[in-house]
Structure 1
Amino acid sequence: MTTQQHTPPPGPAPIPPGFVALADSGGPYMHHIGPLYRLRQGDLVKFGFRVERRHVNPLDILHGGMMASFCDMLLPLSVHDKSAEVADRFLPTISLQIDYLAAVPLGAWVEGQAQPLRVTRSLVFAQGLVSADGIPCARTSGVFKIGPALSGLVAQ
């Protein structure tokens, strides 16, 4: 009978310096799959998360649905930070496009940057790029409805 040495997996990698966990963004669903983190340095705004076991598919790579959820938060949150005219408004998704550029492994740090392309009276158009450990892994764009003021929404 042979015995195998079991080496416990290393602890979670640290969150990159300057990133702060977002509180109360995205409601109960994002609370369940988060946390998401934000970095603000002057005009630079990035959002990110660490890929955990609960975020992966059977091949231990980031599930496309998790990437879609991240992109669906990245775009409107970035618009909030970069467009004063809609900074306090709920921006429900009308359309979301994602091009998956590379597989993202378990444990990777995923971060994205995005910017508004156009803000009209009722719509916001935005685009962004997501990388995993510095490698581009998704390109995203979306259209969002300008909804009610966030202060007027009641937390459930």
Structure 2
Amino acid sequence: MQSNGPLYLLHQGQVVKFGFRVERRHVNPMDNLHGGMMASFCDMLLPLSVYRKDSAVGPRFLPTISLQIDYLAPAPLGCWVEGEAELLRATRSLVFAQGLVRADGVLCARVSGVFKIGPEFTPETAKP
């Protein structure tokens, strides 16, 4: 997140939103958000949202098993990209989640993923 950010968080009750401003370093030659950056954002959006919304799942490391993204529209240089996600199901070892991403309010990506429920995060295991 340090390389791709800053990534902003809004957490009010059950509402959890993540967002960032598309900068020059995030774009492709057409001045739209690079697909790889969108994938990185989505790969952070889903597990972090689940972690924030469901105390039974978090605080745990949730490594990605599967991530599917449908790119629906471009996210141009300078726009605000914001995503929301929801937990679909959690088992003893897996989390299933989905989310939507918007660029300046326009739907630009749909994402779903499966994540392994990993070890608990503690201040000692978290790296700066």
Give the TM-score range, shorter chain.
Answer: over 0.9
Q: CA deviation digits over 1:60-101, x for unaligned, max 9?
A: 000000000000000000001111111110000000000000
TM-score where L is the length of structure 2: 0.96
Give the total of aligned pairs.
127
Residue 66 (structure 2) pairs with residue 76 (structure 1) = no
Partner residue in 1 for 2:61: 90
- CA shift, 1:144, in A, is 0.2
Unpaired segments ≥5 residues, structure 1: 1-29
- Work out the CA distance in 2 between the residues paired with 1:69 and 1:38: 16
- CA shift, 1:154, in A, is 5.0
TM-score where L is the length of structure 1: 0.79
User: Greater share of strand residues, 1 or 2?
Assistant: 2
1:114 to 52, 73, 85: 85
- Work out the CA distance in 1 between the residues paired with 2:12 and 2:3: 27
Runs of 4+ in 1 over 4 A off after TM superposition: none
Percent identity, aligned pairs only, is 72
Higher Cα radius of gyration: 1
Partner residue in 2 for 1:142: 113
Higher RCO structure (Cα 8 Å, ≥6 apart)? 2
